[in-house]
Amino acid sequence: QTELDGAQHRLSTIIRDSAFSLLGILDDILDFSKIEAGKLNIDNIPFSVSDTIEEVARVLSSVAKKRDLELELAIAPDIPTNLIGDTVRVRQVLYNLCSNAIKFTSTDDKHKGHVKISVEVAQNTTDHYTLRFSVLDNGKGMTQAQLREIFNPFIQAEGSITREYGGTGLGLSICKSLTELMLGTISVTSDLGIGSEFVVELPFSTQGKVEYAHKQVMKDQRVVVVTNHDGRKKLLTRYLSFMGATPVIADSSDKIEAEQDKKDIIWILDGIETMEDINYILRRLLYTLEDNKQQVIVLSKLDEAAVNHKNIFYLNAAPLCKSNFMMSLLVAAGLHKPKQIASAKSFNDYLSVDKAREENKLVLLVEDNVLNQQVLTDQLHLLGYGVEVAENGEKGLEAWREGKHSIILTDLHMPKMSGYDMVEKIRHEASQLEDINAQPYVIAITANALKGEKERCLSIGMNDYITKPVELNVLEATLHKCAYKTNPEATKLEVKRPTAPIDMAMLANYVNNDEAKKLRFFKMYLEQSNQLSKEINSGVIEQDLEKIISACHQLKSISKTIGAMKVAELAAEFEQRCKEDELSSDDLIELRDSYEIEYSKVAQFLKEQIQRAEQEATH
């Protein structure tokens, strides 16, 4: 997989976030109808408010830059990282407010356009926090008459706005409705020709013990801040104090010289607009950096480095994200090791079709959209798979008949033959073959997670499903699940193991060596555990902890009964972690994969036991 440098990572993150935000904007049209019908529900899940705000700011930073606006971000450091709320709706409200502020603010020869996004703790108790979100601009502003209409649907402050700026006039109406559904309030103050400020207050509950990011982790670390920006000076001082550092403001040459020869300090250079200015200050510091064990963090709007030096870090500050700033400080202080950029794969590293077939890592990709074909092919190559592409279900069926692929990744809605029809035909034809491994592992690619579509996928014989846009880590985890089910060599190795994956002695306590009863147990376990595995995987994809906990609890119980103690142990661990920890999507995937590998061994063992018993019964 190709690693990215800092600028590339930032740009690719913006592209990714923009794609998801565009999907969210399309949902706005549906949301208004749902709100009007009283059908829109609010979810309550653990999430990071800071991450959500930074995501909005990153997406809109390119728009602000194009309009030559100053986009500022100020997130209070004392906001817990484990609040409970609806991250999608919070993001939606902020995105609408911020995009409006940018849309109606401009820069000219006499006036620098400015938009500031901020969030503070308005009030809190032991288990509830109310946060105040503010979006402030120095744009066009509004009259009092316009303000009275601003939250009404299909109303914009001026009739010419739709012609000049586009839009439906639904954004602020949706913001108000969503805010009220989340039991919050929204208000606006504005002066014509001066600007506007929208303020949203939202209540959140906490999950267990309140946690904060990087609180008091840099005890007594001296940090010298070189800046003339009063607002940034206060914000940086606040961040540094929260992290336990000792901030020193150096806003003159004399103060810089006074700190230059001190040991073990970190410099922060901020508000230096031109490369020449950055070079000048850096070169003054360069001669003493290593001798005095000093580090420098440059907060800049410029993408390129002014001076390359191992003790100098460059952080894009347009806008300055709290999480990135704090992480840079930890790296500079030696409290966090930065990720090393690995060398990129060349195209020669990717498996050819013939080589992939030999290694049983050839995927038949059935997809009618050319762009999606290219993206998915690149993703599969990065994950170490070879790819054959078919443009619809009809071509996919022909390709499978010829190549008998063990893994199929298919879209559902295609011309000539749908993915549903193709899979039904493949399942029927594979069942007529003598080879018990002829049935491929089929992964459906769904455009959405509409109720009923997932169930239909599974009911016609698909093994798994993922939703568009396909994220690389989700695709990797899904393919990893089927490794034991599609790799003959892995299966052979498991059969040769000296110990069975289930405790036959424990099983005997329940069936008393009754072979018929044992086979019934095996079949019942396979049926129930397969369904529970699907529920767990669905919970991981949807990040539904309650679904995972329920399925793991049942899987643990039936696995103990059958003697599959390792599966029971891993299911119990998965259940407990979901109850106690704040788990990321990567954590969920890792836990899911651990039990899936062991479960695959058990399932394979039981299938072989059933097959052997049935063959013996016919002789």
pLDDT (tens digit, 9 = 90+) per residue, 404-430? 888 999 998 888 888 889 999 998 888
Of these ranges, 147-161, 257-271, 487-501, 564-578, the one predicted with the greatest mean pLDDT is 564-578
pLDDT confidence of residue 134: 97
pLDDT confidence of residue 618: 62
Nearest to 462 by CA among 451, 476, 474, 478: 478
More confident site: 9 or 136? 136
Mapping DSSP to helix (H, G, I), strand (E, B) and coil, where does residue 108 land? strand
More confident site: 170 or 266? 266
Share of the chain above pLDDT 70, in %: 77
Contact between residue 446 and residue 414 where contact means Cβ atoms under 8 Å apart: no
Judge whether residue 193 has pLDDT over 70. yes
Judge whether residue 97 has pLDDT over 70. yes
At 274, the pLDDT band (50, 70, 90 cuts) reads low
Judge whether residue 369 has pLDDT over 70. yes
| The residue to which tokens 């009063």 are assigned | 230
Helix 515-542 vs helix 585-617: crossing angle, to nearest 10: 160
- Please, what CATH class does the domain formed by 347-488 belong to? alpha beta
More confident site: 13 or 209? 209
pLDDT (tens digit, 9 = 90+) per residue, 36-69? 666 677 888 888 899 999 989 988 887 888 888 9
Residues 6+ apart with CB under 8 A from 22: none
pLDDT confidence of residue 493: 31
pLDDT confidence of residue 17: 57
pLDDT confidence of residue 80: 93
Judge whether residue 228 has pLDDT over 50. yes
Average pLDDT value over all residues in the chain:
79
pLDDT confidence of residue 160: 43
Q: How many CB atoms lie within 10 A of CB 361?
A: 21
Judge whether residue 76 has pLDDT over 60. yes
Phi, psi of 208 (to 5 degrees): 65, -145
Nearest to 18 by CA among 10, 8, 7, 29: 10
End-to-end CA distance of the chain: 52
pLDDT confidence of residue 247: 94
Judge whether residue 4 has pLDDT over 90. no
At 612, the pLDDT band (50, 70, 90 cuts) reads confident
pLDDT (tens digit, 9 = 90+) per residue, 513-551? 667 767 777 888 888 888 888 888 888 877 788 888 988
pLDDT confidence of residue 257: 78
Contact between residue 315 and residue 299 where contact means Cβ atoms under 8 Å apart: yes
Lowest average pLDDT, out of 23-27, 74-78, 156-160, 542-546, goes to 156-160
Which sequence spans correspond to the domains of the chain? 6-206, 222-332, 347-488, 497-619
pLDDT confidence of residue 164: 42
pLDDT confidence of residue 61: 86
Of these ranges, 232-246, 299-313, 448-462, the one predicted with the greatest mean pLDDT is 232-246
In Å, how far are 196, 393, 426 from 353, measured between CA atoms? 59, 20, 21
Judge whether residue 158 has pLDDT over 50. no
Output the CA torsion 374→380→381→383 (10° steps).
150
pLDDT confidence of residue 192: 92
320/537 Cα distance (integer angstroms): 37
Phi, psi of 392 (to 5 degrees): -165, 175
Q: For the chain, percent helix, then strand, then coil, each to nearest 5?
A: 50, 15, 35
452/72 Cα distance (integer angstroms): 44
Note the residue count of the chain: 619
- The answer to whether 222-332 and 347-488 have equal CATH topology is yes
DSSP secondary structure string for all residues of 540-607: HHHT-HHHHHHHHHHHHHHHHHHT-HHHHHHHHHHHHHHHHS---HHHHHHHHHHHHHHHHHHHHHHH
The CATH homologous superfamily for domain 497-619 is HPT domain (1.20.120.160)
Judge whether residue 154 has pLDDT over 60. no
Judge whether residue 119 has pLDDT over 60. yes
Contact between residue 481 and residue 597 where contact means Cβ atoms under 8 Å apart: no
pLDDT (tens digit, 9 = 90+) per residue, 427-481? 888 888 777 667 889 999 876 545 566 667 777 778 888 887 787 778 887 887 7
pLDDT confidence of residue 59: 80
State the amino acid at position 107 in one-letter form: T
More confident site: 353 or 247? 247
At 325, the pLDDT band (50, 70, 90 cuts) reads very high
User: Apex CA 47: angle with CA 43 and CA 49, to 5°?
Assistant: 110
Nearest to 71 by CA among 61, 56, 62: 61
Mapping DSSP to helix (H, G, I), strand (E, B) and coil, where does residue 190 land? strand
Of these ranges, 80-94, 272-286, 343-357, the one predicted with the greatest mean pLDDT is 80-94
Q: How many CA atoms lie within 13 A of 367 on its CB side?
A: 24
610/616 Cα distance (integer angstroms): 10
Lowest average pLDDT, out of 10-19, 119-128, 369-378, goes to 10-19
| The residue to which tokens 């399309």 are assigned | 26
- Please, what CATH class does the domain formed by 6-206 belong to? alpha beta
pLDDT confidence of residue 117: 97
User: 222-332 has which CATH code?
Assistant: 3.40.50.2300
